Amino acid sequence: MTDDIRLEEVRVRYPAARTPALDGVTLAVESGGRVGVAGRTGAGKSTLALLAAGFIPRVVRATVEGRATVGETDLVKAESKDLLGRVGIVFATPANQLSASKLTVREELAFGLENLAVPRSEMDGRIDAVLARLGISHLADREPFALSGGEQQRVAIASIVTMGTDVLVLDEPTAQLDPVGSEAIADLLAELAREGVAVLCAEHDPAVLRTMDRVAVLEGGRLTALDIPGRALGTAALPEGLEPPTLVRLAEAAGADPARAFDESFVAAALTAHRGPWPPESAAEPAERLAWTPVRERPGLAIELDDVRFSYPGGVEALRSVSLGIEPGETVAIVGQNGSGKTTLVKQLNGLLRPTNGRVLLGGRDSASEPISRIAELVGFVFQSPDDQLFERSVEREVSFGPRRMGLPAETLTRLVDQAIELAGLSGVRTTNPYDLDLSTRKLVGLASVLATDPSVVVLDEPTTGQDGPGVARVGRIVDALREAGKSVVAITHDMEFAAAHFGRIVVMRRGEVAADGPPSSVFGPANLELLASTGLRPPPAARVAAAMGRTTIPADAGELLRELARSR
Amino acid sequence: MPAATGYYVPGTSWLHRRNPVTKLLALAWVLVTAFLLPPWVLPILIVIVVLVAWSAGVLPNLVRAMRIPAALLLSILLVNAFLFPGATDRIVGIGPFGITREGLSFGLISAGRVLVAFLASVTFLLTTLADDLLEALIARGASHRIAFVVLSAVQMVPRLQARAGSILEAQQARGLAVTGSFVTRIRALVPLVGPVLLGSLIDVRERTFALEARGFGARPDRTAYRIVADTTVDRVARLVLLVGIVAVVVVAVLGILPG
């Protein structure tokens, strides 16, 4: 394998766009090298990925200036047969990766091999090897569309890796994966690189970026930094608005060598040895707080799940006896491995799915007899994929759909819609068609459209996936605002830092059951490490560093740990 | 209904085991017969298709799937019965409207033909995996582009239904009532139309990405993982069906059969 990616002074402009999506980018990924790409949403990461994989301009129309090559092949002139078997690309969501016509995961993987004209007799061996590498051998004979989102994403990655390309481009491949799953992908990329593959990986997740040889930082289509991960993701290199990952922030606070910023025990030792000064509080704190003023007078709503079981048609048992009470005003993060039953669980809360056994009580009333539309007035549900949810032609109409349905007086309706749009930070795009917005903004539109109904309980299915740092921070501040307004918030998340920082209670799901339940300080405590690992989880990075320092506290993020340290010295 | 498999009902009946191209030819024969021959063949065709579906174990699915076209069939019948142009032979009158003999008979024939077409097509879809059809067409020398168009057409309705289902869920979760009176149900459908159509355009883009990323159509000599059976029975059946189709066309052109 000798293929590499070379971009020289590349400028990419989409038809009808005012500014170029990539502007003078020069970057090379050698055979056996791994380059990560970081940056805010809209900075050009996906464009870079599409270009390097030969999708621009062949599949996605755009004008390309400069030189872009894979091996000896000019990407601007390449036809699909020129790149076949040489370049693979993995996207963030399963929707645009699975062929949607295969009965089993095995056949889904075989599809790429068929197109490469791999002999039938070799296929099963290659498929089995990749499935085992990704730890999904048990899914081989399942139907791809019956899998959970995270499982589908693993299948999508496997189906590209099976093709054995020399160049592998990934665009946020781990957005839907649990923490251990993300690390497994990072390990796989390292192995592939050792075998000579050139890897280019756009990501937000530090767990993946930290393993790269170098990280390129994009801002407004320009390459602003290209360095080892510890420096490229540091305060000096990142564009305004992006915060360094927790470990880098801690390493910077201790004045430690950025080259080892992702080494937890090294950072812990550096913090222990550091005698101050600590970074000023203000620099570490997020921007202004957000607020939500309830417009409709309604009491809090207690939710009670009583021995809830659920099986999908076809017999997959997704919930096995879940009993759970959620008090009015509680904030609950639901965490756990892909396929552990998290989405199935939250869909019970508003009647999108009904228990096969057991009861769901809303405010003491059995929800079995209530239609979804009635429950919706009490329990708002924000879907994981905004595209399953958005259907109106402008953000404003989308957000007002719910309150209009509920027949609220015009004044109340206007106040709710304005407040929801402002809280989600969408004031600038009120009249825009949601489909013209990027994924992270579309997700905020989905959130605003549910907030506008002012429900007592807000359920969020993976609200932070596809969000960059500032996006995650915004969602966190919205959760805080809802809690202060007395609402209950139930959220599924794979982001342990987000869970620990904004939720009072963590529920750990494992194989359809509740494996642990309590405040972050107990769930992420030392007694639970093994249990967490058994369901694909680890405590947030700040808590891991604190543990390595021998501290007994469980800080949610870098800011909290640094404040603790500043106080105790 | 999973969009991946569409209407397909997994099974091992004699019909499931036939080569997709054989079934495609059989479908063609039924359609040609229904539309070219005199209307008295329609009841016979209906009986044949229903018997075939029953013997393949998909009759309950067929009946369920016919609920949607039922409205179309009824409207074909009614529109013709009442509004057949130039018809004079009234049977029943309701105010200014009346059912005419010509209209009723034309309506029955048209609805019967469409009914046969639906029954046969759905039976085909219920027993044929779209992917097998794709493989069989490519194996028979169809271009990738054409095979993909056929595949997309076969999957279009179930995919639209799946998308409509998820949007309906989202709307219900925001307080849209979809159960209740007939009017409520119809009104619930209106906000679905736009997003479903828009969604299907996005769907096409996503499919293109998925197929491109796997190199679909990049080289002509692709191999196949799934072996689509092609037995002697199939080859003989295809020959018979081809002869049958030609025979029907000849008979229709010569007008041999009594009307």
B23-36 tens-digit pLDDT: 999 999 999 999 99
If asked whether residues A474 and A529 sit together in one domain, one would say yes
If asked whether residues A438 and A365 sit together in one domain, one would say yes
Q: Would you call A449 and B213 a contact, using CB atoms and an 8 Å cutoff?
A: no
Residue among A310, A348, A303 at smallest CA distance from A329: A303
Long-range contacts: A157-160, Cβ < 8 Å, 24+? A157/A90, A157/A185, A157/A188, A158/A105, A158/A109, A158/A130, A158/A131, A158/A133, A158/A134, A159/A97, A159/A98, A159/A108, A159/A109, A159/A111, A159/A112, A159/B214, A160/A88, A160/A89, A160/A90, A160/A97, A160/A112, A160/B213, A160/B214
Report the DSSP pairing between strands A379-382 and A457-461: parallel
Question: Which of residues 392 through 411 in chain A touch B, CB cutoff 8 A?
Answer: 392-393, 401-402, 405-406
- Average pLDDT of the residues in B126-153: 81
Q: Would you call A389 and B167 a contact, using CB atoms and an 8 Å cutoff?
A: yes
Task: With respect to residue A284, please indicate whether it lies within any of the assigned structural domains.
Answer: no
Q: Is the distance from CB of B191 to CB of B220 less than 8 angstroms?
A: no
The position carrying tokens 């609402």 is A487
Name the burial class of residue B32, with classes exposed (0-12), middle (13-18) and buried (19+) by CB atoms within 10 angstroms of its CB.
Answer: middle
> Of A195, A226, A242, which closes a domain?
A242
If asked whether residues B51 and B148 sit together in one domain, one would say no
pTM score of the predicted model: 0.84
Q: What is the number of other CB atoms lying within 10 angstroms of the CB of residue B105? A: 16
If asked whether residues A457 and A488 sit together in one domain, one would say yes
If asked whether residues B156 and B78 sit together in one domain, one would say no
- Average pLDDT of the residues in A238-248: 89
CATH code of the domain containing A54:
3.40.50.300
If asked whether residues A206 and A265 sit together in one domain, one would say no
If asked whether residues A370 and A503 sit together in one domain, one would say yes
Give residue B179's pLDDT.
62
Structure tokens given for A315: 């017999």
Give residue A569's pLDDT.
66
Nearest 10 degrees: CA dihedral of A454, A456, A457, A463? 20
If asked whether residues A202 and A253 sit together in one domain, one would say no
Structure tokens given for A262: 């992702």
From the list B159, B173, B216, the residue facing A376 with the nearest CB is: B173
If asked whether residues B117 and B147 sit together in one domain, one would say no
If asked whether residues A422 and A339 sit together in one domain, one would say yes
Question: Which of residues 122 through 181 in chain B touch A, CB cutoff 8 A?
Answer: 129-131, 134, 151, 155, 159, 166-167, 169-179
Task: With respect to residue A527, please indicate whether it lies within any of the assigned structural domains.
Answer: yes
Provide the domain limits for residue B105: 7-128+230-259
If asked whether residues A222 and A265 sit together in one domain, one would say no
Structure tokens given for A104: 């089993």
If asked whether residues B44 and B122 sit together in one domain, one would say yes
Question: Which of residues 157 through 216 in chain A touch B, CB cutoff 8 A?
Answer: 159-160, 163
- A1: pLDDT confidence band, cut at 50, 70 and 90? low
If asked whether residues A257 and A364 sit together in one domain, one would say no
Does the pLDDT of residue B185 top 70, yes or no?
A: no
Contact list in A for residue B216 (CB cut-off 8 A) is 111, 115
If asked whether residues B239 and B111 sit together in one domain, one would say yes
If asked whether residues B62 and B160 sit together in one domain, one would say no
To the nearest whole angstrom, how far is the Cα of A490 from the nearest Cα of chain B? 15
Q: Is the distance from CB of A506 to CB of A524 less than 8 angstroms?
A: yes
If asked whether residues A337 and A398 sit together in one domain, one would say yes
Three-state DSSP class for A96? helix
If asked whether residues B98 and B185 sit together in one domain, one would say no
B193 touches chain A (CB under 8 A): no
Does the pLDDT of residue A465 top 70, yes or no?
A: yes
- A281: pLDDT confidence band, cut at 50, 70 and 90? low
Total of domains in chain A: 3
Task: With respect to residue B133, please indicate whether it lies within any of the assigned structural domains.
Answer: no
Does the pLDDT of residue A552 top 80, yes or no?
A: yes
List strand residue ranges (DSSP E) for A134-265, in order: 167-171, 198-202, 214-219, 222-227
If asked whether residues A208 and A83 sit together in one domain, one would say yes
Search chain A and give the residue with CA nearest B200: A387
Total of domains in chain B: 2
A352 touches chain B (CB under 8 A): yes
Structure tokens given for A288: 């202004």
If asked whether residues B118 and B19 sit together in one domain, one would say yes
Task: With respect to residue A408, please indicate whether it lies within any of the assigned structural domains.
Answer: yes
Of all residues in chain A, the percent with pLDDT exceeding 90 is: 62
If asked whether residues A16 and A93 sit together in one domain, one would say yes
If asked whether residues B22 and B113 sit together in one domain, one would say yes
Search chain A and give the residue with CA nearest B131: A101
Task: With respect to residue B201, please indicate whether it lies within any of the assigned structural domains.
Answer: yes
Give residue A287's pLDDT.
63
Task: With respect to residue B225, please indicate whether it lies within any of the assigned structural domains.
Answer: no
Provide the domain limits for residue A204: 5-242
A343 touches chain B (CB under 8 A): no
Residue among A247, A349, A237, A254 at smallest CA distance from A304: A349
If asked whether residues B79 and B152 sit together in one domain, one would say no
Structure tokens given for B251: 């008979």
CA A226 to chain CA centroid, nearest Å: 24
Task: With respect to residue A285, please indicate whether it lies within any of the assigned structural domains.
Answer: no
To the nearest whole angstrom, how far is the Cα of A519 from the nearest Cα of chain B? 29
